[in-house]
Amino acid sequence: MARVWIEDRIGHTAYARALAEAKRNGRTPPGRYRVRWYDPDGKPKMKTLARKVDAEAERTRMESRLNDGSYRDLAAARVKFVEVAESWLRRSTSSARPAAATGVFSTCT
């Protein structure tokens, strides 16, 4: 069972300060509810939402994704292909020509 919970930030001093500043500057206030969870690697993650209904829906969605294994961290997906390819080449032991393969991706940026 995945650990996902909703945090109501109404009593937090940082939230109260951000809310007052947003009202003073005529901006949209920050989200009151924060959905928090741990990804499969154990890293804490969160998403802030304005309405409790939206936070509950997000909690349910995140719980189901974590439980059925379909969870993907979008921030971790923002890795350049060059970095993944070079990492794979370093780990690859079946390369027929390792000396020639080391600089293949150095010109791609």
- Span 4-49, pLDDT tens digits: 999 999 999 999 999 999 999 999 999 999 999 998 888 999 999 9
In the chain, the amino acid numbered 37 is: W
Across all residues in the chain, what is the average pLDDT?
85
Core vs surface per residue 44-81: b (16+ CB within 10 A) or e:
eeeebbeeeeebeebbeebbeebeeeebeeeeeeeeee
Whether 96 has a pLDDT exceeding 90, the answer reads no
How is the chain split into domains, by residue range? 4-68, 79-109
Spatial contact of 36 and 7, defined as CB atoms under 8 Å apart: yes
Q: What tens digit of pLDDT does each residue of 34-44 get? A: 999 998 888 99
Of 106 and 55, the one with more pLDDT: 55
- The pTM for the full model equals 0.67
Of residues 48, 17, 44, the one with CA closest to residue 34: 48
